[in-house]
């Protein structure tokens, strides 16, 4: 698709089914599972539950944001570790937190072009199992050691290692262009857009209240599988363990700012937490779905990706991408029955909502005469979002698509808009539709 408002003709991509693991805080229930373990679990269970013959699948598109050093191509590994035929080709995608939106739009494009009929897409993340790297000093010494030809060379290489070089290095959630972490970038957005701490905490509270109400009403039961927890397999993880039914504004207000301890507003309570989990969707051409007797949950109507300079407002991408996705869908915000926005931080969602409603933003940043509009809070993240449910980076987009399509079905409504902010100043948006 070009960056204009048209969607090319082609076959509609139907989301036929989907599933996710519980999303759990890093270092808890899934600490002994890798991202690929979680991916294989969810894909096997999805294929089994959907009663799809694995032989129907012709493509796997999967992603992982913080890659494992032992698995370079997560998508193909999903094929090799599940009941899917080994002849199924696969490709791995990466678009930071929008990774499984990308996996879905890739599959939708392939279906539209007639190059695929049935794809498994999704993402998995284990923040319990992040790769640890050797420091630069240790790595240089080890390379020199491997090239050493004499005992003296070896001794000289080893002698360059300082004690501090032995400390392992973890992957950073830092934006290379600015050197700021995601949290620091969101803190900057809160300041620039004047998003008060109280508004952020109120938004976080709603996320928890809505997610816990959804669990209590059984709305997640069919979309979240149970996982026997290794190493003992004596306990079963059956629910997200980050959602707090008992969170209060008072408790949230007590939490100390994390990223700017002195003047900051972002806390553990109004940020998405580091999370383990996986989510997968079954995406087919409309014809294939009907031929196999599936009733689609819904369809990908349009999507858009956009980007801004990371030195500006790093997580403001959704405000740039969403109007383009709506244009491509030939729909307006007012047509959307639901809006689901990934909650990296409450400050980030509130900043994006402000921009979407702002005429000045529309004119200056988008070159449009009209703003996209005010998002109705009653239609926004109605079953909670990443603050309460957690955010296993690569799995979040697929979780949102599944959760939103099922909610559209329950409400017998037609259209939904999804948005995700992503590293590098990027934003993703997707319009979903039911019949
Ligand atoms: C913000 C962050 C640093 C917090 O990490 P943490 O300190 O491990 O968070 P915890 O879950 O231990 O919470 C800290 C405290 O807040 C409390 N807390 C968290 N959420 C709460 C809530 N909703 N209500 C009440 N208390 C809450 C915890 O109970 C804990 O209290 P304790 O210290 O008394 O046990 C971490 O979640 C983070 O880095 N998030 C951002 C991830 C990111 O950058 N994502 C990219 C987005 S695109």
**CA dihedral (212, 416, 333, 351) positive or negative:** positive
366 secondary structure, DSSP code: I
Q: Write down the catalytic residue from 97, 118, 208, 342.
A: 97
Residues with CB under 6 A from ligand 1: 97, 173, 182-183, 208, 244, 247, 251-252, 255, 258, 268-269, 271-274, 344
- The mean pLDDT value for 404-430 works out to 98
Q: Active-site residue 421, yes or no?
A: yes
Q: What is the residue-averaged pLDDT of the chain? A: 95
pLDDT value at residue 6 = 59
Number of H helices, E strands in the chain: 14, 12
> In this predicted structure, what is the pLDDT of residue 134?
75
Confidence class of residue 367 from pLDDT cuts 50, 70 and 90?
very high
342 counts as catalytic: no
In 242-315, where do the E strands start and end? Answer: 275-285, 298-307
CA 165 to chain centre: 34
For residue 423, the ligand 1 atom closest to its alpha carbon is 48
Give residue-wise pLDDT tens across range 20-55.
999 999 999 999 999 999 999 999 999 999 999 999
**pLDDT tens string 311-361:** 999 999 999 999 999 999 999 999 999 999 999 999 999 999 999 999 999
Q: What is the pLDDT of residues 159-182, one digit of tens each?
A: 898 888 887 776 667 899 999 999
Name the residue at shortest CA distance from atom 20 of ligand 1.
269
Whether the predicted pLDDT of 188 surpasses 70: yes
pLDDT, residue 285, reads: 97
Cα–Cα distance measured from residue 302 to residue 159, given in angstroms and rounded to the nearest whole number = 59
Task: Kindly tell me if the per-residue pLDDT of 247 is higher than 60.
Answer: yes
Distance CA 72, CA 235 (A): 31
* Helix orientation angle between 346-356 and 197-216, rounded to the nearest 10 degrees: 100
- Active site (annotated) includes residue 118: no
Per-residue pLDDT averaged across 242-271, rounded?
Answer: 97
């Amino acid at each position: 698709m070009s960056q204009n408002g048209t969607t090319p003709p082609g076959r509609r991509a139907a989301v036929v089914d989907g599933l996710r693991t519980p999303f759990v805080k890093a270092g808890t229930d899934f600490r002994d599972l890798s991202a690929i373990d979680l991916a294989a679990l969810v894909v096997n269970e999805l294929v089994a539950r959907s009663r799809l013959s694995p032989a129907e699948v012709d493509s796997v598109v999967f992603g992982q944001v913080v890659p494992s050093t032992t698995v370079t191509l997560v998508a193909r590994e999903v094929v090799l570790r599940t009941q899917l035929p080994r002849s199924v080709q696969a490709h791995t995608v990466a678009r930071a937190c929008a990774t499984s939106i990308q996996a879905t739009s890739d599959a939708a494009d392939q279906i539209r072009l007639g190059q695929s009929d049935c794809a498994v897409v999704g993402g998995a993340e284990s923040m319990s199992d992040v790769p640890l790297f050797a420091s630069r000093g240790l790595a240089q010494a080890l390379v020199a050691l491997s090239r050493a030809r004499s005992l003296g060379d070896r001794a000289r290489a080893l002698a360059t290692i300082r004690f501090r070089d032995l400390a392992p290095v973890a992957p950073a959630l830092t934006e290379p262009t600015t050197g700021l972490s995601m949290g620091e970038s969101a803190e900057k957005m809160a300041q620039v857009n004047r998003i008060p701490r109280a508004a952020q905490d109120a938004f976080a509270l709603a996320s928890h209240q809505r997610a816990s109400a959804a669990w209590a009403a059984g709305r997640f039961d069919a979309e979240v599988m149970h996982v026997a927890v290794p190493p003992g397999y004596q306990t079963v993880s059956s629910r997200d363990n980050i959602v707090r039914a008992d969170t209060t504004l008072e408790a949230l207000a007590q939490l100390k700012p994390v990223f700017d301890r002195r003047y900051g507003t972002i806390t553990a309570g109004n940020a998405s937490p580091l999370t383990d989990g996986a989510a997968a969707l079954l995406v087919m051409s409309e014809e294939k779905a009907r031929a196999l007797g599936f009733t689609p949950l819904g369809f990908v109507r349009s999507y858009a990706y956009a980007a801004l300079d990371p030195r500006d407002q790093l997580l403001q991408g959704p405000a740039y991408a969403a109007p383009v996705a709506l244009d491509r869908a030939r729909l307006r915000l007012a047509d959307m029955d639901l809006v689901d926005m990934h909650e990296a931080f409450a400050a980030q969602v509130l900043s994006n909502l402000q921009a979407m409603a702002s005429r000045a933003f529309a004119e200056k940043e988008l070159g449009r005469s009209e703003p996209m509009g005010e998002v109705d809070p009653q239609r926004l993240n109605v079953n909670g979002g990443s603050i309460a449910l957690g955010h296993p980076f690569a799995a979040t987009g697929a979780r949102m698509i599944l959760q939103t399509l099922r909610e559209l079905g329950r409400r017998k409504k037609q259209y939904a808009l999804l948005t995700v902010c992503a590293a590098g100043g990027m934003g993703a948006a997707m319009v979903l539709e039911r019949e």
